[in-house]
Structure 1
């Protein structure tokens, strides 16, 4: 039971990671200091997708799943939980571009808001 709990926690952390990567830039609209952690998370996610870096959460979840009597994730977290469930299996590239576009919009919005705030401070 303990290993299964570890695997479930790793899965939940994976989902939290993906949600933060996709939408965390919007948090920087209100709290600019959060831009820098988001940049790090987004860069790591980009490395996982483009370079093939391993995700420690996938390693942890696989380890715990095997120890609890199950098997490792087939193809990794995204392939196992999202592909074919959240978006069709033949739309992986589209899903990646949508995610990148959401991140880009969040960063562009943050930049615009920061510039407006800076302009208001200079006027005051």
Structure 2
């Protein structure tokens, strides 16, 4: 039970990190100092997508799932639905490049707006 809880917490952390990498720029518009956290998260997110890497949170979560007696993401809602967002089965390299480009484009718009606002 304890290991399953740890695995679920890691999954939630992973989803939160992905959301921060994608939408953290919006937080930067209100609190520009958050950029010091967001830009490395954004860079990591793009790197993981374009370099076809696995985030270290993935094997860590799987490790705790195995310790908790689980084999995968079957059973509960959080394991089934949220993991599909992070680990889709049909994620081709082309789609990974597209996801990285979307990540950059969304945040380029936000940071451009921030820079223009500071200049005005």
TM-score (norm 2): 0.71
The runs of at least 4 consecutive aligned structure 1 residues that moved more than 6 Å come to none
- The 5 Å alignment of 1:52-63 reads 52-63=52-63
**1:46-77 superposed Cα distances (whole Å, 9 cap, x missing partner):** 2222224442211221110110111257xxxx
Partner of residue 122, structure 1: none
Larger Rg: 1
Unaligned runs of 5+ residues in structure 2 are 74-82
**Match 2:84 to one of 78, 81, 88:** 81
Query: Which structure carries more relative contact order (alpha carbon 8 Å, separation 6+)?
Result: 2
Unaligned runs of 5+ residues in structure 1 are 74-79, 120-124
Q: Distance in 2 between matches of 1:56 and 1:90?
A: 18
TM-score (norm 1): 0.69
